[in-house]
Chain A
Amino acid sequence: LAKTTQPISMDSYEGQEVNITCSHNNIATNDYITWYQQFPSQGPRFIIQGYKTKVTNEVASLFIPADRKSSTLSLPRVSLSDTAVYYCLVGDPSSKYSGAGSYQLTFGKGTKLSVIP
């Protein structure tokens, strides 16, 4: 299973752009990269998913270099409500259970983002 490494914590002021980088050196060819956000006492919530280059939605952008060994979640102009833990996941969403393989999405410890007024 591909493992991920993220910074444990980050601080940012309101209105700034925040970039959180995740390392996944053992990423497999069919693996996608997915980011989740978790607020205290809630389950994680999907933010964005990508395979290569750049993906953008209304919440964030995801940058993936050509070697795909890392990825960067970019949050534009953060506010206090963006204070949360952010998780980077690597997994193959198209794999099918065959008895010989497995389908697991493994969370790391996440990055705790604190937005300061």
Chain B
Amino acid sequence: NAGVTQTPKFQVLKTGQSMTLQCAQDMNHEYMSWYRQDPGMGLRLIHYSVGAGITDQGEVPNGYNVSRSTTEDFPLRLLSAAPSQTSVYFCASSYALATGELFFGEGSRLTVL
């Protein structure tokens, strides 16, 4: 098993550009989520999904879109990148709500100029 795979690992964008951060898991997890991590802020939840076709907002959803068309994939879209979205993004997945243990990807470092 590859676990949780995030791509790309690094990305530089200009203000106003759009892009998609990819997240895939091969553990058949129902629950998937996106966090962003900024210095001194810990991890903040952006969006999450409890199964294919179901998504919901987390703590800081503005400027981001998600969709969950398959169990395996949970892409995060930045519609119009802003410097405030410069951050490290982590995708995580979990078994079907039984244990709450989250498995994290290695992170995607995004810089918006």
A42 to B35, CA, bound (A): 13
Q: State how many angstroms separate the Cβ of B98 from the closest Cβ of chain A.
A: 7
Complex partner residue of A43 from B56, B100, B106, CB under 8 angstroms:
B106
Residue of B nearest to A42 (CB): B106
Residues of A within 8 A of B92 (CB): 43
Complex partner residue of A97 from B54, B100, B104, CB under 8 angstroms:
B54
In this assembly, does A46 line the interface, its C-beta being within 8 Å of a C-beta of chain B? yes
> B101, A49: Cβ atoms under 8 Å?
yes
Complex partner residue of A49 from B42, B59, B99, CB under 8 angstroms:
B99
Interface size on A, residues (CB 8 A): 27
> B50, A96: Cβ atoms under 8 Å?
yes
> B97, A95: Cβ atoms under 8 Å?
yes
Segment of A10-18, A20-28, A103-111 engaged in the interface with chain B: A103-111
In this assembly, does A45 line the interface, its C-beta being within 8 Å of a C-beta of chain B? yes
Complex partner residue of B42 from A42, A95, A102, A108, CB under 8 angstroms:
A108
Complex partner residue of B101 from A46, A107, A109, CB under 8 angstroms:
A46
Residues of B within 8 A of A104 (CB): 45, 48, 58-59
Give B contacts to A, CB under 8 Å.
4, 31, 33, 35, 40-45, 48, 50-51, 54, 56, 58-59, 90, 92, 94, 97-107
